[in-house]
Chain A
């Protein structure tokens, strides 16, 4: 309070008179009750019996009420909740086990299906390959046959042609001889001559 009065002295000139008057009233009012009371109230022994009595009554009733009504109730709520949580956790772990089993079964089935699919694919591939092989062999055989035929024809044509080369040479030779010499050479002579040249 002495701080307030110090403030008042500082700022009183700045404030107008009516405010200063109010301040004065407040100030004088504050100091009076503080001096009027002799003992500091919390240390006044006259109030002790009454406070202790009422503390005992109120706190005693409070204790009994909490012990009999509130705490069993709150404890019960928490216990029920814990039970429920344990139960739910158990159920959850059970369900998780089931889900895991289902996943494992699914994966096993998937692996089996994959193996099966691979086998089927392999089989189909082998069959197709074998078929293709036989078809190829057939075609190759046919081509070989055709090739042989063609070669035989070519060689017969060649032989025929070679045979004809001799007679053509004889004819040509007899014609040349006729034209150059003017006489006829015997067929045997010409043939012998052609043969010797051809050799």
Chain B
């Protein structure tokens, strides 16, 4: 176990807890699935229990729930207007899910759901899928105007449209890779520095004295990761709002 602790990649391993296999696909309930469930349960229970008193003058925890609600609500209204409020439950769920998954991942020995590209890509694909489906449902082929900006000279148009299409296609990639890479890199760095503390303190008095430095670094990194956990959830939600705005108002 001590050996595993110093391996910075070990924390990302997926272990099958309940093996399930259907039609040749491995659909096991893994530690990743366990922490998805934990994320959902923690977030839902927090939101549900803190607002159960429905106080007119909120307590601290109820304030937190209300702040999250209004924070996301204002973000969406600013980016996509009042029309965008029909996506409020979606954006709020995304924000809370990513935020709680990031924060839970900061606990030692906890699995970080958002450090797996497939999870963040799944969420990003959901966002872009929503944008595309809703865009075509609402505007029909008019949604394609998204790729044709106004006021561009005709001879430049093919180039501009190509660039717009590439930028649209790269959105799910950038959205998912940003979150995934931030969480992955942060957790690896944390683990490496914590590993230094363990290895150094095994070297006797000098090592123990020297391990103060990586320990301080690990403490500082934990604070930074806390910020990153919130920031990435925020960025994910903000970008979702902006993409949804494109679905609502495809003309530039």
Chain A interface residues toward B at CB < 8 A: 1, 3-4, 7-8, 11-12, 14-16, 19-20, 22-23, 26-27, 29-30, 32-34, 37, 40-44, 46-56, 58-59, 61-63, 65-67, 69-71, 73-78, 80-81, 84
> Within the assembled complex, what's the spacing in Å between the Cα atoms of A122 and B44?
82
Does B232 belong to the interface (CB within 8 Å)?
no
Contact call A51/B96, Cβ cutoff below 8 A: no
11 contacts between A and B (CB under 8 A): A7-B207, A33-B7, A50-B30, A51-B33, A54-B30, A62-B40, A62-B43, A63-B89, A71-B92, A77-B54, A78-B70
Contact call B96/A11, Cβ cutoff below 8 A: no
Contact call A81/B56, Cβ cutoff below 8 A: yes
Query: Which of these, A23, A34, A63, contacts B7 with CB under 8 Å?
Result: A34
Known: A8-B203, A49-B26, A58-B40. A74 touches B9 (CB 8 A): no
Contact call A29/B122, Cβ cutoff below 8 A: no
Contact call B9/A37, Cβ cutoff below 8 A: yes
Query: Which of these, B36, B54, B89, contacts A66 with CB under 8 Å?
Result: B89
Does B168 belong to the interface (CB within 8 Å)?
no
Chain B interface residues toward A at CB < 8 A: 2-4, 6-7, 9-10, 12-14, 20, 25-30, 32-33, 36-37, 39-40, 43-44, 47-48, 51, 54-56, 58, 62, 65-66, 69-70, 88-90, 92-93, 96-97, 115-119, 122-123, 126, 180, 184, 195-196, 198-200, 202-207, 210
Q: Which residue of A lies closest to B88 (CB)?
A: A71
> Within the assembled complex, what's the spacing in Å between the Cα atoms of A165 and B65?
131
> Within the assembled complex, what's the spacing in Å between the Cα atoms of A32 and B3?
9
Closest CB-CB distance, A121 to chain B, in whole Å? 56
Query: Which of these, A11, A44, A46, A67, contacts B210 with CB under 8 Å?
Result: A11
A53 neighbours in B (Cβ, 8 Å): 27
Q: Which residue of B lies closest to A32 (CB)?
A: B3
Interface core residue of A1, A47, A70, A73 (most chain B CB under 10 Å)? A70
Closest CB-CB distance, B54 to chain A, in whole Å? 5
Query: Which of these, A8, A29, A51, A71, contacts B116 with CB under 8 Å?
Result: A51
Interface of A is mostly: helix
Interface core residue of B2, B13, B55, B204 (most chain A CB under 10 Å)? B204
Closest CB-CB distance, A43 to chain B, in whole Å? 7
A4 neighbours in B (Cβ, 8 Å): 6, 195-196, 199-200
> Within the assembled complex, what's the spacing in Å between the Cα atoms of A20 and B32?
37
Closest CB-CB distance, A45 to chain B, in whole Å? 8
A66 neighbours in B (Cβ, 8 Å): 44, 47, 89, 92-93, 96
Contact call A42/B117, Cβ cutoff below 8 A: yes
Contact call A51/B2, Cβ cutoff below 8 A: no
B12 neighbours in A (Cβ, 8 Å): 40-42
> Within the assembled complex, what's the spacing in Å between the Cα atoms of A32 and B70?
49
Known: A40-B9, A81-B56. A58 touches B36 (CB 8 A): yes
